[in-house]
A and B are shown apart, each in its own frame.
Chain A
């Protein structure tokens, strides 16, 4: 149990376009989802935390108007990178936590390359 999927697993887009990444909890209800970003040779950096039906809480330094997070259901959260630039190229990983559970389960990640 506790499987989290992400789609797409990798994406290449042109500078200035927007990209949407989906994160789904397949066999449990994810009351809270987390979005992380990892640059090469760096650790995972938390970008934002979202609770189902609420606005996301962003970490300091993360632009909420650039990284739009929607957590409209208990099984789906989306991260939209708007007007992507090459410096947004990174590995984006989502994580989900269910009600009354303390573990965070990680998706397989999405590798974004902006050209």
Chain B
């Protein structure tokens, strides 16, 4: 099983839509989880950390299910500027090094 696996995508959604991305991880001892965003030809940027109780940041909601080793990201009211690749990231030990999933490409269409 790969360390981090994600929905293959791509997701093409209209503006205003709600979209959800899923991710599974193999290391049951992992303690930290993140969602990163990567724009074309740019470095990845931290979107949000994922906490055990779930957390929300504006239109973005992250959920963690430790029993299933599953992480999700929900984007509500999609904007054109949300178009990017979303990367599920789980550190291999403790907090580093970061191991990236393949990413899910999102295109928000006007």
Q: Interface residues, chain A, CB within 8 Å of chain B?
A: 32, 34, 36, 42-46, 49, 91, 93, 95, 97, 102-104, 106-109, 111
Q: Is the CB of B42 within 8 A of A97?
A: no
Instruction: Please indicate the chain A residues that have their CB under 8 angstroms from the CB of B96 in the complex.
Output: 32, 34, 49, 97, 102, 104
CB distance from B62 to the nearest CB of A (A): 17
Contact B87 A43 (CB under 8 A): yes
Most central of A32, A42, A44, A46 by chain B CB within 10 Å: A44
- Give the interface residue-count category, chain B: 10 to 19
**Closest residue of B by beta carbon distance from A106:** B43
Q: Is the CB of B94 within 8 A of A102?
A: yes
Q: Cβ of B94 and Cβ of A44 under 8 Å apart?
A: no
Q: Are B99 and A93 in contact (CB under 8 A)?
A: no
Q: Which of B35-76 contact A (CB under 8 A)?
A: 41-46
7 A-B pairs with the lowest CB-CB distances in the bound complex, closest first: A102-B95, A106-B43, A43-B102, A44-B100, A43-B100, A109-B43, A34-B97
